[in-house]
């Protein structure tokens, strides 16, 4: 893989702002890949910020606590969907749109597709209804590109068990059947929008995933 110095000279800093989301089941490694892209962008002199969902704003982080606490076990799945959307509306207005208006790239750890995968495919809510709600939530802002990290439930759960002292949050605690529905849902979303989604096999060693990402995103989409 080329060094950062070699990468930089191919990339003028005057690219228009882009909005990139990272998706996948819990434990797929998307945060690490997002940090890698932020590093490449910084090295190339392209301004970017990283954020996450749920969260990314003071209000959103409070909503995140409520959503992920194991003490919220009795939450209705409609309340759950609306809280994820509330956090997203706040993030869109307070962080994403203002940054993009200034020409800053926005990288986000999850966005609308997480609601389609988890609350649509996972919880069984109607996808068309969710789409209408999301159009309103984000004022029809969609990612320019969505990086989907795909790996088996077993690999992902192993990774989650190895962090946070083995503690699982409310969603991670769901059974394998739920996580499998979410994984298959993500793949269905990617198949329906092949232009927007880039699917990476995340069961490989991290170095290989990063190299694949470099070739198929940085060189193919950003690079010249
Ligand atoms: P994270 O651990 O990747 O930050 O995501 C928090 C959890 O919330 C994760 O289990 C996925 C879930 N989630 C949804 O169920 N719906 C959503 O819309 C989002 C953004 C996340």
* Cis, peptide link before residue 54, omega less than 30° from 0: yes
For residue range 52-89, list pLDDT tens digits in order: 999 999 999 999 999 999 999 999 999 999 999 999 99
Quick check: CB of 52 below 6 Å from ligand 1? Answer: yes
Alpha carbon of 50 to ligand 1 centroid (Å): 16
pTM above 0.85, yes or no: yes
Quick check: CB of 120 below 6 Å from ligand 1? Answer: no
Alpha carbon of 2 to ligand 1 centroid (Å): 33
Q: What is the mean pLDDT of residues 160-185?
A: 90
Phi, psi (degrees; rounded to nearest 5) at 55? 125, -150
| Cα-trace Rg, the chain | 17
Best residue among 25, 118, 131 to mutate for probing ligand 1, ranked by most atoms within 8 Å of CB: 118
Q: Comparing 12-21, 37-46, 81-90, 154-163, which segment has the lowest mean pLDDT?
A: 12-21
**Cβ neighbours around 120 below 10 Å, total:** 24
The pLDDT-based confidence of 221 (bands split at 50, 70, 90) is confident
At 220 the pLDDT is 82
Q: What is the mean pLDDT of residues 152-163?
A: 87
Are residues 19 and 196 in contact, defined by beta-carbon separation less than 8 angstroms? no
Quick check: CB of 75 below 6 Å from ligand 1? Answer: no
SS3 103: coil
């Amino acid at each position: 893989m080329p060094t950062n110095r070699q990468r930089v000279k191919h990339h003028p800093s005057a690219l228009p702002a882009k909005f990139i989301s990272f998706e996948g089941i819990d434990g797929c490694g998307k945060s690490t890949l997002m940090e890698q892209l932020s590093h490449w962008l910084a090295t190339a002199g392209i301004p970017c910020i990283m954020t996450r969902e749920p969260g990314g704003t003071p209000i959103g982080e409070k909503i995140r606590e409520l959503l992920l606490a194991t003490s919220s076990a009795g939450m209705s799945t409609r309340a759950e969907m609306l809280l994820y959307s509330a956090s997203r509306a706040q993030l869109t207005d307070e962080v994403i749109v203002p940054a993009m208006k200034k020409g800053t790239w926005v990288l986000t750890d999850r966005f609308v597709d997480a609601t389609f995968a988890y609350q649509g495919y996972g919880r069984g809510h109607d996808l068309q209804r969710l789409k209408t709600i999301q159009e309103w939530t984000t004022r029809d802002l969609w990612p320019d590109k969505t990086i989907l990290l795909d790996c088996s439930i077993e690999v992902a759960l192993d990774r989650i068990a190895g962090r946070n002292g083995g503690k699982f949050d409310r969603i991670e605690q769901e059974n394998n059947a739920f996580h499998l529905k979410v994984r298959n849902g993500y793949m269905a979303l990617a198949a329906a929008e092949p232009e927007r989604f880039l699917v990476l096999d995340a069961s490989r060693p991290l170095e290989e995933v990063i190299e694949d990402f470099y070739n198929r995103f940085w060189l193919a989409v950003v690079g010249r």
